[in-house]
Chain A
């Protein structure tokens, strides 16, 4: 039963992709309907899977010696992430019915979305490292295809390729790690790795650990790979919400959480994870503050929140990180989709042109504010509970300066969140934009997500129990809702954090009318350059193309030079052979 459910979570969306593609672009109504049907079905199935979670293999299929068994395990971590992928996925598809109305090539759009949903559930459910990598890469492929969906726009094409190349570059780390596991233990099974990691020499373990960190940082757009996510905002907004906020970017966090027991004793690993998370959270919070493009601001905020999750893992708070992942997936999807309705109706992404839109689209304004409250971490939104939990873990297990840094980040978050909401919905209209409120399909999915932002923290107890019962190699303590409330409301750290958040809001309120970025000019310039990392990216690209141009000169196309190549190679090979023989 579990096996069947697990398989259908992957195959139902994939079948849907095939069907929607074959229906053809001449029947857009069918395509919308079928895409919603298949994704909602997957969403329902994924919720049904939650109570069936266990640490045993749900399904196993031998693939031959070199590829291991294709095994799926539906444990707590996996079912939670699969449910997020499928439920948020179906809401994003529902939203797209309105958002993508009248677009060309809908078949390509929905097929890749459905392919993505299936691959994402495969990624989290797979307990074979090769197939984890396999699904990992398919998600990258889908992300690339959807970022570049508007192929006629060179920015979209460039953004897609940038995302593809950077995540693939990180993928090399995961590949090296997975291959090391197979090379030393002779198995791809994750439970075997968790049980037998002591058989791997410390050096190889370190290589693996940092390889996985590299992969996770690239996938979750963490420092120094965070540059691709803002450029990925060229994608249609439902994609930004689904792939670049709620699901795929979480894969890196998932990876770190999944393998935490293996690497926690690798010297320097937890510290590196913590540091990556902290730097990402801080610098992108500043970048969100200076961004003028609504979607880019949300993208920076996504990197920043992912930074919190990564930081939590560095602090050993696996539950805190996964709990925040859940909250973030819901409230950030909400924010993105709400922003999508704004962009859809206003026809621009530039916040400087917006202002006062709240009157024209009250529903969107209301749900956006709910999401913003959750992002800022105000009680009793879901973001409040999970962020406080992370900060507490940080206070207990990381150096004080790191904790202070994250507190500062919380203040910055509140600052940019209020600024963003104000610039879009309040104040005087800066340009006469004719906006209208969201359509019906949009409202349904926004409404569900808004309710989610208010309530998902209620699942804390069940979620922690699920993790504790089904992940034998991790250490978890069941945290009931009462205990959670007690822990958070009795800890002085909470009040410090709330104070910082209030401070951030207050500062933001004071500068709300300022049209320019509310930071010193030097910092603003630095943050627009991604703190030098965009420059670094460009230099790498330039260096590759320059060396290619140099190498190109060797292909002279003249027969005599071609023969020189042959004779030269002969001399070299002969020389090497003679040298090795002597």
Chain B
């Protein structure tokens, strides 16, 4: 493997993070450059854009070889497989757009340079997380990613809600990572190694203390599961997603919980061969997540909080796809789950960014800081047609209506369930389909609101126009959601290796 490319892939965002921070601090001190916030934004955007270059190079190498890429730095082994590339592609796509979006959205906020520094660090750390091939290494990336996200959630320090959400997030996340770490200790005690490939071999061949490994499995499941926001570990998520700046809400929902999922799957994959397939547990939690997320989303008046609960239900679909793959042993479910991971990133990223754009126009420019409630969206299409359109596309796609991407990725998961020929899995699919119907009960009214002729007072008082840097990411994401809905196999290049990688780690 091309080690220098790998170093660039992780290094560009991680190194540029302190550079951006220092630059921001220095220019804000210097009188002349005081108003030059655009330099920080441009640097951040440049860094994240530059990271695509090593990504593409490594991808080409991966595709030419057809196998996972391996390398070591001293005793630490690094691997790049389909799952790594899926996660990296998601992180970079949404990261680029979120930074572009934040350029205007966060302009002039106190601590803007910290925002970009943390965001860049988080991007680099998430990509790194996908490459770990060692349990402890995985945990370190995971923990570092979590730390970088804590400060982003609690970014609006002057708002009580933001602090409360940040505090809950820190504590719950820390409990989760302690539990996961305890699991790592148990595995180490049983096997004497932390290398994931070796652990898997040893668990498969040696007579090991079953109880310890079972406990380690449960600890991994729950410990990493906190980040995945499986019900009932999810309690931090609605608070954090609704209180963070919109760009961060998009990142949290679109990629951070998915990164947690990748960590959980990698850790669990070392402990296969129990009496109970992990698949059944994933299916159970998936079903719970769908129902719980949908029911609670029905009750929300705050738009961002509603979207947060809808993330819970979408995590449910993803878990179900994975569960189907593990129970039936067929890659279709894993590929469907990978596709849904990707489309959910697009849809939920779009939804949060669109809500952010609306908040910017209606509130931030007027110096108001309050949550956006459903009522505020009344008639927003009359003044901000593109925002209304992209939010509608996002919501309808999340509800699983064609010709949008969410329909196709759900379909792919459902197909996998029926291909297995297992009656229970088919039952889960029907349950999931019914949940999709239920979810329309909260997506559809919101869409209706936006196209009312009578506008809310907040809309009437909103700013005259929305800058193109806020709208461009929305339009790109909306376009992607529509195009992938019409041509779903366009993403096969990414989802197929990811599905195959998942099946091969759970061999």
Contacts and interface: CB of A to CB of B under 8 A. Distances in A.
Please indicate whether A and B come from the same complex rather than being unrelated chains. yes
Interface of A: 63-64, 66-67, 104-105, 108, 130, 134-135, 137-138, 140-141, 144, 148, 151-152, 157, 160-161, 164-165, 168-169, 171-172, 175-176, 179-180, 182-184, 544-545, 547-549, 551-552, 554-557, 559, 561-563, 565-566, 568-570, 573-574, 576-578, 580-581
B489 A64 contact: yes
Given A152-B453, A161-B444, A164-B440, A577 B407 contact: no
A151 B172 contact: no
Contacts of B492: 64
B164 to A, nearest CB: 8
Contacts of B71: none
Interface pairs A-B: 6 shortest CB-CB: A64-B489, A183-B418, A580-B276, A565-B232, A179-B418, A562-B235
Contacts of A164: 440, 444
B275 A581 contact: yes
14 contacts: A64-B492, A66-B335, A151-B449, A164-B444, A169-B434, A176-B433, A183-B419, A545-B298, A561-B235, A566-B222, A566-B226, A569-B222, A577-B276, A581-B214
A140 B275 CA distance: 45
Given A66-B415, A67-B408, A555-B296, 14 more contacts: A66-B488, A105-B451, A161-B448, A176-B433, A179-B429, A182-B418, A559-B167, A562-B235, A566-B176, A566-B233, A574-B218, A577-B274, A580-B274, A581-B210
Contacts of A144: 444
B440 A165 contact: yes
Nearest to A571: B218
A537 B321 CA distance: 31
A165 B403 contact: no
Given A66-B412, A570-B222, A577-B214, A134 B403 contact: yes
Contact of A182 (B172, B295, B415, B488): B415
A165 B399 CA distance: 11
Interface in B225-246: 225-226, 230, 232-236, 238-239
B168 interface: yes
Given A557-B239, A574-B214, A63 B448 contact: no
Contacts of A134: 402-403, 407
Interface residues on B, range: 35 or more
A566 B172 contact: yes
A160 B444 contact: yes
A296 B152 CA distance: 54
Given A179-B417, A573-B218, A563 B295 contact: no
Contacts of B219: 570
A31 B197 CA distance: 64
Contact of B295 (A152, A547, A559): A547
B269 to A, nearest CB: 16
Name the prevailing secondary structure of the B interface residues.
Answer: helix
Contacts of B239: 557
Interface of B: 167-168, 171-172, 175-176, 179, 210-211, 214-215, 217-219, 221-222, 225-226, 230, 232-236, 238-239, 274-276, 281, 292, 295-296, 298-299, 332, 335-336, 396, 401-403, 407-408, 411-412, 414-415, 417-421, 426, 429-430, 433-434, 436-438, 440-441, 444-445, 448-449, 451-454, 487-489, 492
B214 A578 contact: yes
A105 B453 contact: yes
Contacts of A561: 235
Contacts of A568: 232
B439 to A, nearest CB: 10
A561 B440 CA distance: 30
Query: Which of A549, A559, A566, A581 neighbours the largest number of chain B CB atoms within 10 Å of its CB?
Result: A566
A9 to B, nearest CB: 16
A97 B252 CA distance: 48
A578 B414 CA distance: 30
Contacts of A165: 437, 440-441
A555 B232 CA distance: 9
A581 B212 CA distance: 12
B419 A562 contact: no
B274 A581 contact: yes
Contact of A563 (B171, B234, B417, B440): B171
Contacts of B335: 66
A64 B411 CA distance: 14
A569 B233 contact: yes
A576 B277 CA distance: 11
A559 B173 CA distance: 12
A152 B454 contact: yes
Contacts of B426: 176, 179-180
Nearest to A562: B235
Contact of A66 (B225, B281, B292, B332): B332
A151 B296 contact: no
Contacts of B434: 169, 172
A148 B448 contact: yes
A36 B167 CA distance: 59
A84 B441 CA distance: 32
Query: Which of B226, B296, B444 neighbours the largest number of chain A CB atoms within 10 Å of its CB?
Result: B444
Contacts of B440: 161, 164-165, 168
B233 A565 contact: yes
A105 B215 CA distance: 61
Contacts of A563: 171-172, 175
B428 to A, nearest CB: 12
A151 B175 contact: no
A151 B281 contact: no
A549 B299 contact: yes
Contacts of A565: 232-235
A534 to B, nearest CB: 17
